[in-house]
Amino acid sequence: MSLAAFMGEANAAYYAAGDPLGAAGDFITAPEISQMFGEMIGLCLADLWRRKGSPAVHYVELGPGRGTLAVDALRTMRRFGLAPPVHFVETSPALRAKQGAAVADARWHDALATLPRDGPLLVVANEFFDALPIRQFVKTVAGWRERMVSVGPDGFVPVPGTVPCDALIPARLLAAEPGSIVEASPAIAAVARTLARRLADQGGAALIVDYGYADRAAGDTLQAVHAHAYADPIAAPGRSDLTAHVDFGALAAAAEGVAALGPVDQGDWLLGLGIGTRAEALAAASPTRRDEILAGLRRLTAGDEMGTLFKILALVAPDWPAPAGFD
């Protein structure tokens, strides 16, 4: 099967099996590192909502994990008078249970299609797009071929397909050395198109936070994480979280009908919104937690941590102002 099909099936089984987050799981995300991350998201959305004239809106989160980000963002938004209905796009029963415990009045959706159509949407997608399936193309001596997954004597192995794929490779990468890999994600493009169409029709904005790059380049970014350590992404499907770096350039290009702003580095964006001031206030209120709070700040913003690898892209409906940090 194609690597994209393999990744889709593996991640569907993985997320259906239980809660992968936290110290006892496989990985940790920014909302679990510090409440300040969700607070800055909430602050940005509340400011945007006020500058638009405080319309009736819906809060939407794609892949909301345990609901931690939503709790922190919603608490912050309520301080500014924004208390919207909450919608989670989530298919994992185990994670839905955690989200329901965190946000009691949330409504769940299997896909974007069932989201409400009666008002603007304020959408957050934190580490959602990196888990969507990717296609990989490998340069062979005979040209570019799609990377497939087959079964060998010792289990699953990646192999090149037989169908020429040179027409799918950017011209600037066609002459890459044999063994080079180029990635693309029709799944990411499809979600971006659908999301942009809804924003264009209804109004609102989306904040997309993920690790990735601004334009497609040659390189294999597929990775697996198990028990907070890197693992072979092919060896044990369904037992590890499979992700790949997000091509923000391709995502923005697919989002037709809305303004795509950024991407900007996560560290710069958070610092611009005032996360440093918030950290000092939290540390002053809880002196015994000062080291923990400042460690969380550094992990979220430092260039050698998450600050530059993670980026934020904003999709903004026509006639809506640019969110803070993108103007």
Following DSSP, what letter does each residue of 285-320 receive, concatenated?
H-GGGHHHHHHHHHHHH-TTTTTTTEEEEEEE-TT-
Check residue 55 and give its pLDDT. 98
Q: What angle do CA 128, 129, 134 make, to 5 degrees?
A: 135
200: exposed, middle or buried (Cβ count in 10 Å: 0-12, 13-18, 19+): middle
Task: Name the architecture of domain 3-316.
Answer: 3-Layer(aba) Sandwich (3.40)
At 74-131, the pLDDT tens digits run 999 999 999 999 999 999 998 999 999 999 999 999 999 999 999 999 999 999 999 9
Residues 176, 178, 181, 182, Cα dihedral to 10°: 40
Regions in the chain scoring below 70 on pLDDT: 22-26
**H or E element: which one contains 250?**
helix 248-254
Check residue 22 and give its pLDDT. 64
Check residue 255 and give its pLDDT. 98
Check residue 24 and give its pLDDT. 61
- Two tokens, residue 277: 């001031």
Check residue 127 and give its pLDDT. 95
- pTM (two decimals): 0.94
Check residue 40 and give its pLDDT. 98
The rounded Cα 177 to chain-centroid distance in angstroms is: 31
